[in-house]
Structure 1
Amino acid sequence: MKTKTGRYSGYIRPFSRLLDLIIIIFSTTYFSGIPIFHDFYAFFISCAWFIIAANLGFYEVYRYTKVIAILNCSLKQTVVFAICCFALAYFYPERYSLTSILLFVTVSIVLILGFKLFIYFLLRKFRILYGGNSRKVVLIGKDNSVNPLKCFFEENPDYGYRLIKVFDLDNQMMDSFRTVCTFILESNIDEIYCAMDDLSSKQVEDFIFFADNNFKTLKFIPDQKQLLSLNTVFEYYDYIPIISQRTISLDDSLHKVIKRIFDIVFSLLIIIVVLSWLMPILAIIIRLDSKGPLFFVQKRNGLNNAEFDCFKFRSMKINELADIEQVSKNDTRITRVGKFIRKTSIDELPQFFNVLWGDMSVVGPRPHMVSHTNMYAERIDKFMVRHVIKPGITGLAQTKGFRGEVETENDIINRVRYDIFYIEKWSLLLDFKIVFNTVYNTVKGDEKAY
């Protein structure tokens, strides 16, 4: 259950909508060259804006919403809104200039997005400096279940969550339940976060009943297995609720086309601008440093677990363990040139040919050698979900520090967790962000690049 909390929080969205309406009317008058009441143009365009916004969730911005999500939604809003504006200009070319409509759309979007981000960051700063626009929260569960969220609340005051207390409930102890409920009411707590794995079914029911009857927001923290498997979506067959396990953004045909265009353009750019002159130079240097070919070709698992030939610049001496043993720190198989090209990730550049041929994408889950795929598929829950889309040269998991050698099982579990998040939440802006972070980490130096 969600409730409205905070003295002025309920006015933020209405104010934002009113501000956007003023901007659209102002831009219509001064930048489109159309009088404000002429053919009710401003009225129809304003209605179009808010209808589009309602369908795309343009105003559904919460304190935990990421900037990239705001930008992604704004991009969709811009495209659809521009189509509506140009459609009107198309039907009335004698009245509406395409240039003036383009100016109107550009100015409107820039002003609306500018004020939207200004309010977003102003609220974050306001929460830090004055403690306003905040939510008082409690955590319920064992330390290992609630500690990650506890650290998040404590390290990110700009989100406005004030952690008041952490309760460690013993199963089936109703006295503890009553103590928690009394504290929540007396301390005027806004939100309750419960670790599902630490509560019995009866306790979950009791907390839901308590929250519903006392106007409190109740949220649950899943454990690692639930986090990977319960990204559920409710659908309705007539009035019958059906749960889908997950949604995959790239199942959408339009998204596939957009991602493929991005892959082709980006890979051609790298091949023409970088590899066209770098390959001949590396061919000489690698051959002088050690015997063997320029490229190292290895079978890896891609889309739908199909095997493909993955290309890399050869960074190791020819050895029989190349397809079995993962490279480790200070590996004696790595050549002198290999140390440099691995540290700078230059060895991965030939994979842009894989992208151009359609075996890989620029961004996606990193492909593993076949022997490791078979091993992790048996040991790691949801590992094979990574293969529902094309593998990538870089990925979200790699930008979060889970690249290269798998030193502990926790490394591969987190890699799978980030890969599944990417699969379900893909957007073009997320791809841009991952590419930027990859370049930044490479220039800065990644300790796991060896």
Structure 2
Amino acid sequence: MPSLSSSTSGLQVSPLPRGPLSAPALFQLLSMPVVATLVLVVSCTVFAEPFSGPYLILALLAFTLTFHSYVPMPGIRRSITAEAVGSWLVVASLLLMLGWATRTLDVFDLRVIGAWLVATPVALSLVHGVLPRWLPRLMSATGMQRVAIVAGGCELAHRLVTGIRQSPQLGVHVAGIFDDRESDRLHPGLRRDILGDLGNLASYAKKHHVDLIYITLPMTSQARILRLADELRDTTASIYFVPDIFLFDLIQARMDTVCGLPMVAVCETPYYGVNALIKRGSDLVLATLILILIAPLMLAIAIAVKRSSPGPILFKQRRYGLDGREIVIYKFRSMTVQEDGDQIRQATRNDSRVTRLGAFLRATSLDELPQFINVLQGRMSVVGPRPHAVAHNELYRKLINGYMIRHKVRPGITGWAQVNGLRGETETVERMKARIEYDLAYLRHWSLPLDLQIIFKTLFVVLKKENAY
């Protein structure tokens, strides 16, 4: 993480919180893979199975698939415990499917696998239910209790203080706020926390051995920030500058350096670095396995489409793909027309253009199966924002702010919006806005386990046949 150096004081001020604020992220990042691995080791020990060979490979697979952090998203109103257990059920189902597809289940002792599958969610519930409550006490008992002083009484400071106080697992106690403004100009939720003005901050920090200071002054207050940093040189407090970039609609915000200069990524693809390899690798593996399994079904559908009505088997349409570049995607033809011009009418309920076989294919999403070929071609992903026709893109990019941001990633066969009730026709601008909000939420919080959850949820959405016509 790069730092911003004050040229007047030489004091290093970190632009984004690290330290204790990374504790819950680290806990959520490691809890599931560590618990799953330990439970597998214990299960092998109980049934006298050596933890080697296939069990070691299984542990590595489980660790990789569960290595992510919990992030709340629109449409999910579950606790961290429920989310962790739900994620484990998805991962366990995928591992069982892979074992069945590769015919490797016989190499394992079914007692070990059964105990592991059942005991892991129980252990996760205990870890997520008990450890966050005891972590602050343990940190306090070992002298790691932190005291945060927030310099600034603005909305950003209120959000930070509220978040810390609602997260006891951080082990951070907010002692108070320092600000030069009159109380009536401060955020109402922070007025009772004022300890003094900024001139008193350094002396307070020295007297009370403050560990942490978060500076939430606006970035326009550069002179005040530098002066404050200079005054704090004589303390031992760790100092963090929290920039007010929350004014932007952040997509995968992160810090980087270019030629030694710190840069804040305000809008970035989630697939940078190793994430790009994970995403593309999972796409290739999933698309290959699925195409092998559905090849007979696709052949049968192709024959049925050819015999049901005049026209080609595949419908090819131009869509916007990665970075807004035009791509061609494949679908089994379900209509008597093949619209791909400047004016395209979305399919509606009881649409006369849809053939009888096409209605069945659209209701069951079987018409989308050829898009797994697009995945292998690199044009699409298994999971991502659904691609819209070029004509629709040109219309909605003018009506919806941030519409084109969804093209920072490859479009998907299924997506977060589709498993949250926004599948099919978008008959109003408001409905399209809702779909875009889900697409952008997916970009903000992407993880491989989230992709797996969406895939499994898609199966239930398809079975319900909602908004599919």
TM-score, normalised with respect to structure 1: 0.54
Evaluate the alpha carbon distance shift between residue 326 and residue 208 of structure 1 in structure 2; reply closer, same or farther with a 3 A threshold. same
Q: 371-380 or 314-323: which moved more?
A: 314-323
For the aligned residue pairs, the C-alpha RMSD in angstroms reads 5.1
Taking the aligned partners of 1:268 and 1:60, their CA distance within structure 2 comes to 29
1:181 paired residue number? none
Counterpart mapping for 1:34-433 below 5 A:
64-65=79-80, 67-68=82-83, 114-118=122-126, 120=128, 205-210=186-191, 212-213=193-194, 229-230=249-250, 233=253, 235=255, 243-246=264-267, 248-253=269-274, 255-274=275-294, 276-320=295-339, 324-433=344-453
Measured after TM superposition, the shift of residue 280 of structure 1 is 3.3
What letter corresponds to residue 252 of structure 1 in structure 2?
G
Q: Greater relative contact order: 1 or 2 (C-alpha under 8 angstroms, separation 6 or more)?
A: 2
Secondary structure of 2:398 counterpart = helix
Measured after TM superposition, the shift of residue 418 of structure 1 is 1.1
Evaluate the alpha carbon distance shift between residue 352 and residue 232 of structure 1 in structure 2; reply closer, same or farther with a 3 A threshold. closer
Evaluate the alpha carbon distance shift between residue 213 and residue 398 of structure 1 in structure 2; reply closer, same or farther with a 3 A threshold. same
Contact preservation (8 Å) 1:248, 1:425: no
Secondary structure of 1:381 counterpart = coil
Measured after TM superposition, the shift of residue 380 of structure 1 is 0.6
Measured after TM superposition, the shift of residue 309 of structure 1 is 0.9
Taking the aligned partners of 1:203 and 1:347, their CA distance within structure 2 comes to 61
Secondary structure of 2:417 counterpart = helix
Say how many residue pairs are matched: 303
Measured after TM superposition, the shift of residue 278 of structure 1 is 2.5
Measured after TM superposition, the shift of residue 272 of structure 1 is 1.8
Secondary structure of 2:432 counterpart = helix
Deviations for 1:410-444, whole angstroms, at most 9, x for unmatched residues?
A: 21111111111111211111111000000111123
Contact preservation (8 Å) 1:68, 1:429: no
Taking the aligned partners of 2:352 and 2:435, their CA distance within structure 1 comes to 26
Measured after TM superposition, the shift of residue 68 of structure 1 is 4.2
Measured after TM superposition, the shift of residue 212 of structure 1 is 3.3
Measured after TM superposition, the shift of residue 230 of structure 1 is 4.2
Evaluate the alpha carbon distance shift between residue 289 and residue 58 of structure 1 in structure 2; reply closer, same or farther with a 3 A threshold. closer
Structure 1 segments unaligned to the other structure (5+ residues): 1-11, 34-55, 77-103, 124-189, 192-201, 215-225
Taking the aligned partners of 1:345 and 1:281, their CA distance within structure 2 comes to 15
Secondary structure of 2:336 counterpart = coil
Taking the aligned partners of 2:78 and 2:307, their CA distance within structure 1 comes to 56
Evaluate the alpha carbon distance shift between residue 234 and residue 332 of structure 1 in structure 2; reply closer, same or farther with a 3 A threshold. closer
Greater fraction of residues in helix: 1
TM-score, normalised with respect to structure 2: 0.52
Taking the aligned partners of 2:313 and 2:360, their CA distance within structure 1 comes to 15
Deviations for 1:49-106, whole angstroms, at most 9, x for unmatched residues?
A: xxxxxxx998999985374468879x99xxxxxxxxxxxxxxxxxxxxxxxxxxx9x9
Contact preservation (8 Å) 1:250, 1:423: no
1:441 paired residue number? 461
Contact preservation (8 Å) 1:234, 1:241: no
Contact preservation (8 Å) 1:228, 1:417: no
Contact preservation (8 Å) 2:70, 2:84: no
Measured after TM superposition, the shift of residue 118 of structure 1 is 3.5
Taking the aligned partners of 2:185 and 2:418, their CA distance within structure 1 comes to 36
Contact preservation (8 Å) 1:315, 1:338: yes
Secondary structure of 1:396 counterpart = coil
Taking the aligned partners of 1:118 and 1:229, their CA distance within structure 2 comes to 36
Taking the aligned partners of 2:262 and 2:284, their CA distance within structure 1 comes to 41
Taking the aligned partners of 1:232 and 1:368, their CA distance within structure 2 comes to 23
Deviations for 1:237-266, whole angstroms, at most 9, x for unmatched residues?
A: 8xx99754245431133x221222221122
- Report sequence identity in percent: 36
Contact preservation (8 Å) 1:311, 1:351: yes
Deviations for 1:191-231, whole angstroms, at most 9, x for unmatched residues?
A: 7xxxxxxxxxx9783325326349xxxxxxxxxxx898146
Secondary structure of 1:430 counterpart = helix
Evaluate the alpha carbon distance shift between residue 318 and residue 60 of structure 1 in structure 2; reply closer, same or farther with a 3 A threshold. closer
Structure 2 segments unaligned to the other structure (5+ residues): 1-26, 49-66, 92-111, 132-164, 167-182, 196-245
Taking the aligned partners of 2:70 and 2:352, their CA distance within structure 1 comes to 56
Evaluate the alpha carbon distance shift between residue 208 and residue 347 of structure 1 in structure 2; reply closer, same or farther with a 3 A threshold. same
What letter corresponds to residue 123 of structure 2 in structure 1?
F
What letter corresponds to residue 124 of structure 2 in structure 1?
K
Secondary structure of 1:404 counterpart = coil
1:127 paired residue number? none
Q: 377-386 or 56-65: which moved more?
A: 56-65
Measured after TM superposition, the shift of residue 296 of structure 1 is 0.4
Measured after TM superposition, the shift of residue 368 of structure 1 is 0.7
Taking the aligned partners of 2:376 and 2:448, their CA distance within structure 1 comes to 18
Secondary structure of 2:187 counterpart = helix
Q: 311-320 or 278-287: which moved more?
A: 278-287
Deviations for 1:85-132, whole angstroms, at most 9, x for unmatched residues?
A: xxxxxxxxxxxxxxxxxxx9x999996763332454699xxxxxxxxx
